[in-house]
Amino acid sequence: MDRRFALLSLAALTGCGFALRREPELSFKTLALTGFEPDSPLAAGLRRQIKRTPVQLVDDPNRAQVVLEVSREERDRNVVASTSVGQVREWQLRLQFDYLIRTADGELLVPRVELRLARDMNYTETAALAKEQEAANLYGAMHSDAIAQVMRRLAAVKLPS
């Protein structure tokens, strides 16, 4: 009985146009990443995603069909709420990531994109270590979101003929 239900559910989802999200298909063969800091988690995540595609990462931007050029990658946190004695009660974690996509010759394929992500986090000093881990997890989630958005932008890139 449970197996029949599962098969009927799958058939219903297929009939409505539902499909699992697949990796974006990129229309170019080589890509260079420039402007990242050496220990950038965004660069590491993008490299992992690109390795799952047939696109080859190259170090020299002059030899790449497409160049993803980063002009800003910043993480910061701001106090959103505090108590009357100045203890922090809520932080806002932010990720700012600006980039453009161009050819090796400098032809602009995607103009400068200003990606801004933010997450709010409650804070208590009694759980400071746990809250630091929560902040790391929230930054990780923002990095994943940013990487997914960049991959979708790369998938939309069409090289000039």
pLDDT of residue 1: 56
Answer yes or no: is 15 within a domain: no
Distance, CA of 28 to CA of 98 (rounded, Å): 22
Instruction: Give pLDDT tens digits for 110-157.
Output: 999 999 999 999 888 888 888 899 999 999 999 999 999 999 999 999
- What per-residue confidence (pLDDT) applies to 133? 92
| Residue/partner pairs of 42-47 with CB below 8 Å, 24 or more apart | 42/70, 42/73, 42/97, 42/143, 42/146, 42/147, 45/143, 45/144, 45/147, 46/147, 46/150, 46/151
Is residue 21 in some structural domain? no
**Tens-place pLDDT, residues 53-90:** 999 999 999 999 999 999 999 999 998 888 888 888 89
23 falls in which pLDDT band (50, 70, 90)? low
Please check whether residue 152 lies inside any domain of the structure: yes
Mean pLDDT within 15-40:
81
Q: Is pLDDT larger for residue 12 or for residue 142?
A: 142
Residue 14 lies in a domain: no
Instruction: Give residue 107's pLDDT.
Output: 93
Other Cβ atoms less than 10 A from the Cβ of 33: the count is 21
Given a cut of 80, whether residue 34 has pLDDT beyond it is yes
Judge whether 65 lies within some domain.
yes
38-60 core/surface letters (b: 16 or more CB in 10 A; e: else): eebbbbebbeebbeebebeebee
What pLDDT score does 84 carry?
Answer: 84
Answer yes or no: is 2 within a domain.
no
Decide if 47 is inside a domain.
Answer: yes
Range of the domain at 37: 26-156
**CATH (domain of 59):** 3.30.160.150
Number of domains in the chain: 1
Q: Is 39 part of any domain?
A: yes
